[in-house]
Structure formats: structure tokens, C-alpha cells
Structure 1
């Protein structure tokens, strides 16, 4: 059994993951298929998400750029860390 600690086999909960990605680039996919990419500012227990430097992608195409954005949790399909930085598309 793993009790946490510094080992690589430590069990992480979804809550641990979400706390660890605050302030990092993320991709938020909505139920509608639209992606929002930006910096995760904060989120709450309902998965309401606040993002900074947000970009909206529809069918893989950049549609809009927003400074700050708020996404209501019931629209979120998933949230993922982004493998690339926001400036890679420029």
C-alpha cells in the first residue's frame, strides 16, 4: 500500500491534480466541442473555471482571444494540461 510520500507510486486524487495545475497552461474542452486554452487562474468544487490569456478554438481553428474568461462547470467535458506554451502558435 502506498501512503503518499515522495515515491513515484503515490496515489494522486483528481483534487490533487487540479491543485497542482493552478497557474499552468491548460486546455478546457466543453461539451459543445469548443476548446479554451490559457492559464488556469482558479476553480471551485463545481468545476467553474477562471482562466487568463484565454484563446478559443473551434474545430482546431483559433476564433477569439480573451484576457480573462470564466467557464461554468456544467459545460466542461474535461480539463487537461497543455503540452505547449501559448506562444507556440504565434
Structure 2
């Protein structure tokens, strides 16, 4: 999927997956990795990687927690869908 080293601490990266899909992979704290479907649950637009401790949707301003994907500010009424990943050496893999 991607290497752990490519995901900055406190931020994240969008990773291209097979079939034109993408995942948002984040590292909220050193060594803690999470992956989310980057489609905002409000209308499906692509969210931005975390900045300043929050994942934001550029379309309508919804905000999400980078550790859990939980919605912090609407208009979205639900959080981002988490995708299971694991660390194997320096690689992040879908679980």
C-alpha cells in the first residue's frame, strides 16, 4: 500500500489504490497509523490530509478527528469510515 516513512507525523497522505480508489492514511502521533475512506460523508467530496490536528473537507468545511475519523464540525453528521491497516516492517498494509 505505502511505506510508514511516507506518512508525516501529525499529517497524512492520500494513497492511490487499485480500481481508482483512494485511502487517506494518517499518523496522528508517532507510530500510530490510521486509514480512512477520504470521501466526506456529507456529499462525498475528497477530504484533505490533516493540518493543525484536523482533517477538513474543502467543499463545505466539515472537520474530522485524525485519530478516530469522528466528526468534529458539520455539516457532516457522521465520521469518516475507518479502514483496517497494519504495519509490517516499514510497510503499511491493508488488514
TM-score (normalised: structure 2): 0.30
Structure with the bigger percentage of helix: 1
Rg: which structure is higher? 1
TM-score (normalised: structure 1): 0.31
